Each structure stands twice: as C-alpha cells, then as structure tokens.
Amino acid sequence: MKNSLIALAALACAGSALAQSSATLYGRIDTGIGSEKINGASNTQVFSGQLSTSRIGLRGAEDLGGGLKANFNLEGTLAADTGVVGGGNGFFDRQSWVGLSGGFGSFKAGRSDTAFDDIRDLAVVNNLWDSEFSPTKIAYTAGVGDYSSRASNMLRYDTPSLGGFSAGVSYALDENDAQKRDVTAYNLRYRAGALDLGLGFQQQKHEATPASDREYTALSASYKFDALRLSGGWQRAENGAGLEDDEYSVGVAVPFGAFELTAGYAWSKSETAAGATSAKGKAFSVGGTYSLSKRTRLYAAMLDGEVENGAGAITTDRRLFALGVRHDF
C-alpha cells in the first residue's frame, strides 16, 4: 500500500509538471509533380513546398504563473523531394527563437518573421494561399524586388489586442562593424468580425551599398463573406538609388464542401528617380484544393506571368503548373 501511494504521488507530480509545460513536434510535407517554364526553357520535376513550404519543427510553452508563459519555436525548411532540412541557411532556417508572453503581449528573440511580414501575408491570404503560385512571386520581381520575410538576430514585440487594434515592432541587428545591415519593421492591425486590415513598414539596410538599401510600405486587407473570401493589398518598394515600385494584388477563395477554388492577380510598375518607367510586372494564377481530412489536402494550380523593361521588351516569362499532396502532422 505504501509503495502504491508513493507511485501515485510521483504520477501526480509528473502530471502537474506536464500540465504546466509542453513541447510539440510538428511538420508539413508538401510534394508534387509538375513543370516550370522560364524564358522558353521548360523543366518537369518533383517539387517540394509549392502549396506551402514543407517544414519540420519543435515548439513549446511553459506556464510560469500569473498569466506569464515562456515560449520557444525551432523550425526548419524541409526539401521533401530530397530530405534535406534547412538548406544552406542552417537547420532551423525558418524559426529559432525563445520568448515570453502574457497580458503585456509577447516578446521573442532569435530568428523569426518580421513584423512587416504579417501584413504582407494578409494581402495574399486568399490569393493562391500565399504559396509558390501566388502571382506576387513574378509581378513583384520587377524593379526594386520583393522584401525579406524573416531575419536573424532579431528582437520582436507584439502588443495584445485592444478593441481590435494591435501593433508590432521588430529589429534585427547586423552584428557587423564593416557595414550597416539592420532590418527594422513595424505593423498596425485592426481585426473585427470578418474584416482584417493592416499597415506595415520595413527598412532593409542590409545591402553592400547605400544605393541598394530598401524600404517597403504595405496596406493589406482581407474580408470573409458568407460564400467567398477576398484579400488584397498595395505595396510601395523603394531603394537608395531612387527606384520606386507601386505594386498591387487581389485574390478570391471560394470554398464549397471539401473543395476550395482560388484565383489571384498581381501587377507592378517601377519608376526611376526622374519618373521614367523602368519595368512592369504582371501575373495571374488559379488553383484548387480538396481536403481528404483535416490534415491532408490534394491540390492543383498554375501560375503565368511576365516582367518587361521600360522599352516594353519581356525580360522574364514564367509559367508554373503542379499537382500535389500536402500532409500536416
């Protein structure tokens, strides 16, 4: 009887400890087959991460009491077609941070998405699922080029929601005395019912010369109707050489039963400091998914777009098509 009581007490203590902290191994495997044609050169291949990036990670939290929690996340890109994790950017190239959260909001330190990335993701949440099929992948490559979605050596703070409003700021240190390579980002967001609206700014002083420094401003929104979901956004990209891009995207997703159809369009125009058009980009995409379960989806999608220079000559002509399956665990 005494031994049984001791065993029960040990189990109770272990259960209490487990209830206060947790760690979860998770992942996503997205593999498909298709073809990509760039400037006339076509290639059929097995893809990884076309609907969304394949990944593997470990995340957890510990309840510290009084509403305070310690959190962490370690996550690496998984090339599902080859088995390589992290590529050349380290094993946990997507997320590697530790932080605290509570009534004050949340703070984290390490490598993670920038505060600006939340707003840009909002613009394409119903625009081919923020995937490799998103038309921004082509249209926004004209002129200045698109932003960096995550950064290392970063500190990030996000406020709690107050009446639907929230804000975030992130700052990534360059840790290099030879040149300035900091990344600073801010966001302001409002969420109420079916509406999600956000404004973001990001400054990337992480190029070799001041003329290559970049700044991004984005206004994004999504809205859920009874029968469909819309998302869209405007982005301005500028660099230190005076080049300025105005970029737009719009997307729609229509779910019915286990199926979801989505389509998107994006376009951009780049101008020099003198006001002359230097480049234009446009792209269209359409696709569909079928949910076999809560964790497994089949998908098919295509992307078609081009970039031209100021004289109207096409410099990039790209088409992508793939069929695949995505499984979450």
The pLDDT of 35-62, averaged and rounded, is: 96
Q: Which CATH class is domain 107-328?
A: mainly beta
Task: Tell me the whole-structure pTM to 2 decimals.
Answer: 0.91
The pLDDT of residue 315 is 96
CA triple 75-80-85, angle to 5 deg: 40
Instruction: Report the distance separating Cα 133 and Cα 261, nearest Å.
Output: 13
Q: What is the 3-state secondary structure (H, E, C) of 189-206?
A: EEEECCEEEEEEEEEECC
Query: Can you say whether the dihedral through the CA atoms of 200, 244, 320, 82 is positive or negative?
Result: negative
List of residues 6+ apart from 286 with CB closer than 8 A = 128, 261, 262, 263, 264, 301, 302
Return the amino acid letter for 272. Answer: T
- Segment 229-280, tens digit of pLDDT: 999 999 999 999 999 999 999 999 999 999 999 999 999 999 999 999 999 9
The pLDDT of residue 314 is 97
The pLDDT of residue 89 is 76
- Segment 145-193, tens digit of pLDDT: 999 999 999 999 999 999 999 999 999 998 877 777 899 999 999 999 9
Q: Is the pLDDT of residue 13 over 70?
A: no
Q: How far apart are the first and last CA of the chain?
A: 42
Q: What is the mean pLDDT of the chain?
A: 92
The pLDDT of 283-289, averaged and rounded, is: 98
The pLDDT of residue 175 is 85
Going from the C-alpha of 16 to that of each of 10, 36, 65, the distances in angstroms are 10, 53, 13
**Token reading at 227:** 């029968």
